Amino acid sequence: MKDRKNCLEVSGLTAGYGQEKAVIENLDFVLEREECLCLHGASGCGKSTVIWAVMGVIREMGGYAEGKILYQAPCGDVDMVGGREEEVRSLRWKEIALVPQSSMNSFNPMYTIRKTINEVLFQHNEGMGKQEAEERCRELFDMVRLEEKALGSYPGELSGGMRQRAAIALALALDPKLLILDEATTGLDVIVEADILWVLRRLRRKKNMSMLFVSHDDRIARAFCDRRLEF
Ligand SMILES: Nc1ncnc2c1ncn2[C@@H]1O[C@H](COP(=O)(O)OP(=O)(O)OP(=O)(O)O)[C@@H](O)[C@H]1O
Ligand SMILES: [Mg+2]
């Protein structure tokens, strides 16, 4: 990493699917610590593709990536494109977490929200007790301004806005340093949208998180982010 104040350094990123022309060609950008960078552009320009490359899951999505995506982890720089699989995997959730484009994708429809959050907590915290997990669930719901009783709901029972908050709570389960939000408020009405942005703003301040905020909405890009990257 050239600069210690950077959270992420992307250089020469080319990504795409199969034999067709690459979706992203030779992209360079930097995300500083505690910065909120908007990835802004029209539908289909490759915003989610960049996110999948940053998360190190582009192959699982049927795609490929070339170039470098350096994440400054406590153990040193990790290349999310060419790094060892177990090293990249160890950063997911704990260091880098994603709120995916459709909050339905965050949850198993057969599980209550509590069960999905508990799975993540238990998987990454050996020896965590049931009581401690329950307290963490409540704390997370408080952060995103959801009532505790929604922990017992199935994803399909929640409104779009509530599900989106629950998806943010899930992404925050292990206190990540970099939160990636893919169209976090798309499809929500303006009042719910404003409230979710308020929650995110407060989280940024409280937790000193860095954010990659994917949006095709010019107004939100301007109002919420420090800087934007046009596609
Ligand atoms: N799994 C996939 N397999 C093949 N092509 C894909 C896949 N995912 C995306 N694409 C194609 O890659 C291009 C970029 O898609 P991507 O989802 O990254 O765009 P986006 O900017 O996130 O769009 P949106 O704003 O609609 O979410 C599109 O042409 C899309 O059809
Ligand atoms: Mg997308």
Confidence at residue 186, expressed as pLDDT on a 0 to 100 scale: 86
d(CA 38, ligand 2 centre) in Å: 13
User: Would the pTM of this model clear 0.85, i.e. be above it?
Assistant: yes
Please compute the mean of the pLDDT values over residues 142-154 and round it to a whole number.
Answer: 96
Quick check: CB of 57 below 6 Å from ligand 1?
Answer: no
Percentage with pLDDT > 90 across the chain: 86
d(CA 100, ligand 1 centre) in Å: 13
Confidence at residue 103, expressed as pLDDT on a 0 to 100 scale: 80
Q: Domains along the chain?
A: 1-95+215-231 (3.40.50.300)
- Residue whose Cα lies nearest atom 4 of ligand 1: it is 17
Q: Is the pLDDT of residue 28 over 90?
A: yes
d(CA 48, ligand 2 centre) in Å: 4
Q: HEC string of the chain?
A: CCCCCEEEEEEEEEEEECCCCCCEEEEEEEEECCCEEEEECCCCCCHHHHHHHHHCCCCCCCEEEEEEEEEEECCEEEECCCCCHHHHHHHECCCEEEECCCHHHHCCCCCCHHHHHHHHHHHHCCCCCHHHHHHHHHHHHHHCCCCHHHHHCCHHHCCHHHHHHHHHHHHCCCCCCEEEEECCCCCCCHHHHHHHHHHHHHHHHHHCCEEEEEECCHHHHHHHCCEEEEC
Tell me: the pLDDT tens digits for 156-172? 999 999 999 999 999 99
Quick check: CB of 49 below 6 Å from ligand 1?
Answer: yes
Confidence at residue 202, expressed as pLDDT on a 0 to 100 scale: 93
Q: Is the pLDDT of residue 58 over 90?
A: yes
Quick check: CB of 114 below 6 Å from ligand 1?
Answer: no
Tell me: the pLDDT tens digits for 185-202? 888 889 999 999 999 999
Confidence at residue 4, expressed as pLDDT on a 0 to 100 scale: 79
Confidence at residue 102, expressed as pLDDT on a 0 to 100 scale: 86
- Residue whose Cα lies nearest atom 31 of ligand 1: it is 44
d(CA 146, ligand 1 centre) in Å: 31
Tell me: the pLDDT tens digits for 66-77? 999 999 999 899
Confidence at residue 104, expressed as pLDDT on a 0 to 100 scale: 82
